[in-house]
Amino acid sequence: MNDIQKTSESSNVPARSVERRFTDATLTPPVDVIEDSSGITLYADLPGVPRDKLHLNVESDVLTIEGEIDLSVPEGLQSSHTEVGLGRFHRTFTLSKELDTEKISAELAQGVLKLRIPKAEHAQPRRINVQVN
């Protein structure tokens, strides 16, 4: 008997509902946000997510990070035990109007996504010159 059947029997939920819930589940990646005078930098931990399975989207003021782990078993081998059951990451952020979403840059290296979002021109600190008459 597999875990899905055990869960469904103990909770009186049909196995199909429980199976769908696990299939649709996602992990929330931990994210560090660092702000400086010129913008913010986000560092998201996305271990095992290759570039082609990483999707970044900005719509209005909402940033969405989605990724899928690519855990393939080498040909001729069969997995007998898997501890990473969820292979999808999903995280959303509401961005400030002070950030310039047109100038976002992204880098993925060794499982860490780095997003740099600069402040919009009107939100940048600037020095005001004072003239003497």
If the chain, 133 residues long, is cut into consecutive pieces of 10 residues, what is the mean pLDDT of each piece? 34 42 74 94 94 94 92 80 76 94 95 95 83 89
Q: Is residue 127 part of a domain?
A: no
Query: What is the pLDDT, as a whole number, of residue 76?
Result: 87
Query: The whole model's pTM is what?
Result: 0.70
Q: Is residue 39 part of a domain?
A: yes
CA distance linking residue 77 with residue 81, whole number of Å: 12
Query: What is the pLDDT, as a whole number, of residue 110?
Result: 94
**Domains of the chain: total:** 1
Q: Is residue 110 part of a domain?
A: yes
Query: What is the pLDDT, as a whole number, of residue 84?
Result: 62
39-45 and 54-59 strand pairing: unpaired
Q: Is residue 12 part of a domain?
A: no
Q: What distance separates the 2 farthest-apart alpha carbons in the chain?
A: 88
Query: What is the pLDDT, as a whole number, of residue 86?
Result: 64
Residue 36: give its domain's CATH number: 2.60.40.790
For residue 104, give its domain range. 27-74+82-121
